[in-house]
Structure 1
Amino acid sequence: MQLNLEHPDQAFYLRAADGASALVNDRRLYSSFILSPDRLVEDWPVLSVKAITAQDLEPALALDPEVILLGSGATQVFPTPAVMAACLGRGVGLETMTNAAAARTFNVLAGEGRRVVAAFVLNP
């Protein structure tokens, strides 16, 4: 059996994520960030999903996603209904999950060519 190493078509992919850090390609990040298959927005100034506002999601919405994966850290924490409504009002889905689950989901959706954006809250 022949084995071939496959490289993702997108510029950025997640190799790992937890509540304190994430590995994007071969680079370890320790502060919250936003990621699309072709763009990395570092130093996103969000420290807690409970405190997130609709305005905080503007950098993610500016990337024209069909869905935003909100990585809430090591545990699943949901944003306020107002934040969810702000996304849905623009026709963008918002799915909240742990950072590890968001990383796996991002890679699958990006690999399918979907317009996915992931926003990760990290608390080192």
Structure 2
Amino acid sequence: MKFQLDEPMGGNSISRHDASQVWVNGRPHGRSLLVPWQGEVQEWPVSRFPDLQAGHFEQILALKPELVIFGSGAKIRFATAALYRSLIDARIGMETMDLAAACRTYNVLASEGRAVLAALLIES
């Protein structure tokens, strides 16, 4: 039986995470970030869950995902629909998970070639 590492062709991959950092394509990130299935990883200017604003979710629209995986930090917390109304209006699905589950789910969907984006909240 042949074992082979399955990585997205030309896409982003999350290789590791802990409570204070996420490694994307082998590079550590210690602040909240947006990880699109392809293209540049972007800083996401939110450092605490209570500080989330509608503008934080509007930043995601420019990346044109079909699905957003929201990693809400160390524990699962749900943003109100009013905060991500721009995603709802654009018919972009959003699933909320804790950070670890979001990283795993993002990798599975990205490896399938899905237009997925991970919005990962790393609280400082």
Q: TM-score, normalised by structure 2?
A: 0.88
- Tell me whether 1:52 sits opposite 2:38 in the alignment: no
CA distance in 2, matches of 1:78, 1:44: 17
Distance verdict in 2 for CA 1:42–1:27, change over 3 Å: same
Distance verdict in 2 for CA 1:7–1:84, change over 3 Å: closer
Q: Is the 8 A contact 1:72 1:99 kept in 2?
A: yes
User: What is the aligned-residue identity percentage?
Assistant: 36
Distance verdict in 2 for CA 1:6–1:81, change over 3 Å: closer
Distance verdict in 2 for CA 1:6–1:109, change over 3 Å: closer
Q: Which moved more, 1:102-111 or 1:55-64?
A: 55-64
Q: Partner residue of 1:16? A: 16
CA distance in 1, matches of 2:95, 2:50: 15
Q: Which moved more, 1:68-77 or 1:7-16?
A: 7-16
Q: Is the 8 A contact 1:50 1:78 kept in 2?
A: no
Aligned-residue RMSD, C-alpha = 1.7
Aligned residues: 124
Question: Once the two structures are superposed, what CA deviation does each residue of 1:27-68 show, in whole Å capped at 9, x if it has no partner?
Answer: 111011101121233332111233212211222111111111
Q: Is the 8 A contact 2:47 2:123 kept in 1?
A: yes
**Shift in Å at residue 102 of structure 1?**
0.7
Q: Which runs of 5+ in 2 are unaligned?
A: none
Q: TM-score, normalised by structure 1?
A: 0.88
**Shift in Å at residue 5 of structure 1?**
3.8
